[in-house]
Amino acid sequence: MAIKHIIAQALRRYTNLQNAFNLLTEFREQAQKTRGVWELIAKSLISGYNENVFISMKELQDRVHQFMQYKDRNDIAVIDSQSTLARHFNELPVSLVLARDIRYLSAVRSTAILSFIGEIKPEWIDYNLKRQIHLIDEEEIHLNTNNKFSNAISKFSNKINMLLNNHSVSLIGSVGVVLNAELHLRQDMISEYTFSLENKNPPKSSLYDNLSRNLESVMKMTRIFRPMIWRWQNQRQVKITVDSDTATKTCEATVVGRNSDIKKVKEEFDSFLGWLQKIVLLLDIQMEIFLRTSFHGVAPRVLHPQMRKDCYDIEERISRITDSKRTLTDLYNGAKGSKATRETRMEVVAWIAVCKFDCKLEGDFVRDWAVGNYTSKPTNNPNSWVQYALNKKGDNIPYIEKEVVPGDLDCHLPSHRYFDVDKFQDELYKFDIQCKVFRENWRYAILIDENTRTGPFTMDLIEPHAALMHDRIDFDANNLSIEKDFTRDLAMRVNIQ
C-alpha cells in the first residue's frame, strides 16, 4: 500500500507538469518532444508559474542558502535537502531556480521548502516587474561617484526604466534585465573601509589605561572575532578581517560590503571597545584558556562524594540540559507533554542550544533551577511578565520582570563554529516553541513562549568576543555554568577561590 501511494503521488506530479507545459502554445510541442533541452521546458513552466521563481539571497547580499521569491520580498524559502541542487553549507548556492513545489511546514515558521526545482537563467524570464533598492546617504553618493549609476543606465536603460531618487533605485521592465541590473548595481555599491581599534580616552585616565592594556591582549588573540566574522559573511555577505601588529601595538579592521552594513560593523566594534575599557585586567592566559577550552574559570567537575548522596536531583536536572543522548520522546514530553511546565520547556530550549549548537549555559537558570530547584511566579497574567526597555539605538528589547524565577537563559556561543540563528529557530519550532529574535551589537535577545499558557521567558546568546568582557560576578548569580555531555558537572566562569 505504501508503494502504491508513492507511485500515485508521482503520477499526479507528472500530470500536473503536463498541464503546465500546455499553458503556452509557443513552447508546448517543443517542451513535450525535446529531450535534454531544459531551457524550453523551463520557459514553458515560467510562463505558468512565474511566481515560483526564487533567487539566492546571497546574490542580494543577504543570507547564504536562503532563497527569496523575486516577486515578493517576504516569501523566504530553502531548497529541499534531498534535491540535486541542494548545496553543502560551505558551498556556493545556485543563483536562480524555478520551483514546482513550495511547501510551508507551519503557519508559525514562514520559511518554505522548495522541491522539484531546476536552475534557470535570467534571460529566460519574460514578464514585467518593478524592483526597488533602498539606499543610505553614503550609498547614493557612492553610486553617483565615478559615473557608476550613469554607466549602469547606459548598459541597461535601453531595455528597462531606471531611476535614482530620494535614497532609492527603481528598476522597471522585463524581469531578466531587471535582475541583471540589480545585481550589477549591488556589486557597484560594494566598498572597502579600514579603521583602527584605537584608544580615544583621555591619557592617564583609568579608562585609557584599562583599554591600552587590554587592547594589547586582544591583538594577540584576534580569533575571538571569528564568530562575528562568520555571522556577517553568512548573513550579509560582508567580509571582515582583523589584523594586528604587536610590535607597533596597532590593530586594524577592514570591512568590505555595502556602506549601510559597514556602519553597523563599526558600531559593533565600538561597542566592544566600550566594554573592553571597563575591564580592569584582561590576562593573556585568560584569553588563551577561554579560546582553547571555553573555560577561563573552573572547568566542569562533579560534586564531592560526600555531597552527591543528597544532590542526585541536581545531577538529574543538569543531565536534562547537557545529555546529548536525550531521546526525542523525552524532549517532546518536556516541551508538550501533559506535565510540561515553563521550566521543562526552558530545559528543552537550553538542551537545543547546548547539545545541538555547542553553547555554554550559565547564570541564573543554572543557579536557581538546575541547582536550586527554585521557582517563583507572580499571580498575574503571564502575558504581563514581559517588559520592554529601550536600548541605545531606540529599539525595544524584551526582558522578564524580576519577580519571575528562573527569569531567562544566558548562553555563550561557541568560538569554533558558526551559530546559525535561523536553524536554531527551526529546532525550536519542531517542538512548537515560538520565538521572536532581537539583534543587538553584542547578543541575540530572544523572546520565547510569549503567548504560551506556561509563561514566557527570554534568552541571551552572546558571541565570544562579547562574552569575554563579562569578567565580573555578583556573588554566584552569573558564575555557574554547564556544558554539553558534562551530565553531572558544574563549572565556574570566574574562579572565586
| pLDDT tens per residue across span 168-186 | 999 999 999 999 999 999 9
Mean pLDDT, all residues of the chain: 87
pLDDT score for 294: 46
Minimum mean pLDDT range among 182-186, 258-262, 330-334, 360-364: 360-364
The residue whose grid cell reads 531578466 is: 176
The alpha carbon of 375 is separated from its chain's Cα centroid by a whole number of angstroms, namely 31
Q: Which residue(s) pair with 54 in the sheet?
A: 69, 97
In this prediction, residue 300 carries a pLDDT of 72
User: What does the pLDDT average to over 224-253?
Assistant: 93
Does position 320 have pLDDT exceeding 80, yes or no? yes
Of 384, 380, 324, whose CA–CA distance to 352 is shortest?
324
Structural domain boundaries in the chain: 19-124, 128-189, 192-282, 298-492
Mean pLDDT of 214-228: 89
Question: If you average pLDDT over each of 98-102, 281-285, 326-330, 480-484, which comes out highest?
Answer: 326-330
Q: Flag whether pLDDT at 295 surpasses 50.
A: no
Q: Which CATH architecture has domain 128-189?
A: 2-Layer Sandwich (3.30)
pLDDT(45) > 70: yes
For 410, phi then psi, to 5°, come to: -115, 120
| Range from 85-94, 99-108, 156-165, 337-346 carrying the lowest mean pLDDT | 99-108
Residue 468 confidence (pLDDT): 77
Q: At what angle do helices 342-351 and 312-322 cross, to 10 degrees?
A: 50
Q: Which segment of 207-211, 285-289, 478-482 scores lowest on mean pLDDT?
A: 285-289
Predicted confidence band at 33 (pLDDT cuts at 50, 70, 90)?
Answer: low
**Confidence band of 292 (pLDDT split at 50, 70, 90):** very low
Q: What is the pLDDT of residue 4?
A: 67
Residue 26 pLDDT exceeds 70: no
Specify whether the CB–CB gap between 142 and 148 falls below 8 A.
yes
Reported pTM: 0.86
- Quick one: average pLDDT of 357-375? 93
Give mean pLDDT, residues 247-254.
Answer: 88
Taking a C-beta distance cutoff of 8 angstroms, is the pair 70, 179 a contact?
Answer: yes
**Residue-level pLDDT at 293:** 47
Model pLDDT, residue 494: 63
Residue 36 banded pLDDT, cuts 50, 70, 90: low
Query: 313-320: which pairs have CB atoms within 8 A and are 24 or more residues apart?
Result: 313/373, 314/370, 314/371, 314/373, 315/487, 315/488, 317/347, 317/369, 317/370, 317/371, 317/373, 318/370, 318/482, 318/486, 318/487, 318/488, 318/489, 318/490, 319/487, 319/488, 320/347, 320/351
Each residue's pLDDT tens digit, 57-112: 999 999 998 999 998 777 889 998 888 899 887 888 999 999 988 887 665 566 78
**For residues 202 and 455, what is the distance between their CA atoms, to the nearest angstrom?**
48
- Predicted local confidence at residue 24, as pLDDT: 61
Query: What pLDDT does 301 receive?
Result: 65
